[in-house]
């Protein structure tokens, strides 16, 4: 579950935030991880209490049209996430081979070895989890090495981590801040976590066992996300120390005067602030701290890309058995708030308020990205297509929000609305839901 917090998209978000804002956005990374933990907690509780993953519950509770649209949107989210993960792994192969393996070759290798490693699942989920643990250890060691050699200022780092402020920040910093939140809270990971907890044996006839399982899953998730937070912190701090306010000309000169001078040409010779990606980031680390830093970065990137590609594929498996981010957060908030589903383990008032705020934040971020994206469209004719897609997006989001309000027990919604929401359940489960709601 923690792998989705460490994919190449997260790594690139970290390094760009560090290069653009230095240490000013570290507190955003911290609180985005806390919000992610709250979402993962809900996913785990749903799986433990019901014995079903989020995809299965969506299939049972939503009518055919909304659940089909929900399925398609989540599959698109997984495809989009897997694209960056596969390309990130291919870039690591390119760096490790000094350019001998082209990107298309790295993509083919990644596709083949991803399915090969997933065969570990045939020997038990614990074997696969152990392999993921090995990859996380590699990331911790490699990115930790970069942190040690970069020697970021600890005072400035702690200030940026615990003081929520961003003095002198403008549009670029704001864009990086919302990008951090979007990279941390991944929709497919919520579906995945609700399914993974089913591998643990829990006696659901005993409330004490369910309560104990929920507690230990929260502890487990907290440890896992703490590890992922530290690794993300390493990356953001390294690039905040080494590249904050650096220009392309300075990056060119650094590489031109190093043993990796052949790589200098990837940086244009101008006075624009350097804009690094995961490829350029590895190169400039090698130029600054020696070739070893380049190859160690590539190994860490390989571990991040390979593991997250498998996670995305694994999550897709669970989504396919039944059935963008509001389409995961809204359903998990809905079902964990329903006494008919969760019984006494349904969300309390404080939990509902916090998760509703998360949902509002996510929707605001999505709206911000859409508004920011519109001016970059190459032709006004594309506005119509974007408007059509936005209409469908808002329609499905509104339906999910409406059902979420029902689950929250809003006073203006009638009992018949709740009965309609139980449509799609097997007959005996509908009866159980009606008795619980009564």
In which band, very low, low, confident or very high, does the pLDDT at 393 lie, cut at 50, 70 and 90? Answer: confident
Q: Mean pLDDT over residues 80-98, rounded? A: 80
Q: Retrieve residue 136's tokens.
A: 């996380």
Give domain limits for the chain: 2-325
Kindly report the pTM of this predicted structure: 0.77
- 218-260 pLDDT, tens digit per residue, is 999 999 899 989 999 998 998 888 888 788 888 888 888 888 8
Residue among 298, 140, 146, 147 nearest 227 (CA): 140
The CA distance from 370 to 20, in Å, is 21
For 192, residues 6+ apart whose C-beta sits below 8 A from its C-beta are 1, 4, 311, 314, 315, 318
Over 70: is that where the pLDDT of 141 sits? yes
> How many other CB atoms sit within 10 Å of the CB of residue 88?
27
For 14, residues 6+ apart whose C-beta sits below 8 A from its C-beta are 29, 180, 232, 235, 236, 239
In which band, very low, low, confident or very high, does the pLDDT at 389 lie, cut at 50, 70 and 90? Answer: confident
Which of 321 and 350 is assigned the larger pLDDT?
A: 350
Q: Retrieve residue 226's tokens.
A: 């703490």
Q: What is the pLDDT of residue 27?
A: 93
Query: What percent of the chain clears pLDDT 90, i.e. is strictly above it?
Result: 8
For 89, residues 6+ apart whose C-beta sits below 8 A from its C-beta are 8, 106, 109, 110, 301, 302, 305, 306, 309
193 with 30: CB under 8 angstroms? no
Q: Retrieve residue 381's tokens.
A: 């004719």
- 165-212 pLDDT, tens digit per residue, is 888 888 778 878 877 887 777 777 888 888 888 878 888 888 888 899
- 12-34 pLDDT, tens digit per residue, is 888 888 888 889 999 999 998 99
Q: What is the pLDDT of residue 381?
A: 64
């Amino acid at each position: 579950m923690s792998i989705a917090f460490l994919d190449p998209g997260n790594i690139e978000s970290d390094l760009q935030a560090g290069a653009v804002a230095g240490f000013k956005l570290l507190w955003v990374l911290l609180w985005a991880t806390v919000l992610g933990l709250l979402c993962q907690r809900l996913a785990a509780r749903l799986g433990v209490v019901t014995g079903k993953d989020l995809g299965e519950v969506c299939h049972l509770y939503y009518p055919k049209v909304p659940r089909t649209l929900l399925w398609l949107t989540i599959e698109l989210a997984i495809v989009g996430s897997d694209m960056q993960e596969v390309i990130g792994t291919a870039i690591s192969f390119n760096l490790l081979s000094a350019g001998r393996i082209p990107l298309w070759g790295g993509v083919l290798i990644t596709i083949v070895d991803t399915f090969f490693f997933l065969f570990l699942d045939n020997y038990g989920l614990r074997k696969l989890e152990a392999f993921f643990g090995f990859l996380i250890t590699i990331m911790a060691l490699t990115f930790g090495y970069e942190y040690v050699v970069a020697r970021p200022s600890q005072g400035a780092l702690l200030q940026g981590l615990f003081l929520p402020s961003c003095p002198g920040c403008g549009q670029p910093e704001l864009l990086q801040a919302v990008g951090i939140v979007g990279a941390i809270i991944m929709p497919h990971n919520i579906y995945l976590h609700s399914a993974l907890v089913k591998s643990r044996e829990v006696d659901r006839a005993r409330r004490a066992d369910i309560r104990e399982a929920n507690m230990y899953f929260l502890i487990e998730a907290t440890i896992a996300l703490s590890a992922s937070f530290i690794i993300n912190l390493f990356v953001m701090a390294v690039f905040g120390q080494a590249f904050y306010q650096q220009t392309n000309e300075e990056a060119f000169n650094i590489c031109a005067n190093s043993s990796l001078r052949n790589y200098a040409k990837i940086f244009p010779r101008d006075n624009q602030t350097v804009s690094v990606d995961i490829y350029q980031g590895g190169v400039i680390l090698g130029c600054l701290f020696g070739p070893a830093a380049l190859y160690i970065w590539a190994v860490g990137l390989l571990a991040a890309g390979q593991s997250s590609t498998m996670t995305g594929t694994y999550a897709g498996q669970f989504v396919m058995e039944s059935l963008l981010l509001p389409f995961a957060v809204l359903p998990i908030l809905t079902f964990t708030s329903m006494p008919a589903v969760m019984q006494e383990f349904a969300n309390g008032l404080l939990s509902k308020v916090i998760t509703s705020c998360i949902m509002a934040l996510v929707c605001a971020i999505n709206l911000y990205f859409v508004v920011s994206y519109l001016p970059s469209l190459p032709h006004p004719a594309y506005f119509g297509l974007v408007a059509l897609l936005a209409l469908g997006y808002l329609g499905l989001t509104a339906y999910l929000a409406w059902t979420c309000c029902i689950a929250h027990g809003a006073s203006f919604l009638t009992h018949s609305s709740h009965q309609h929401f139980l449509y799609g359940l097997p007959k005996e489960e509908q009866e159980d839901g009606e008795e619980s709601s009564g």
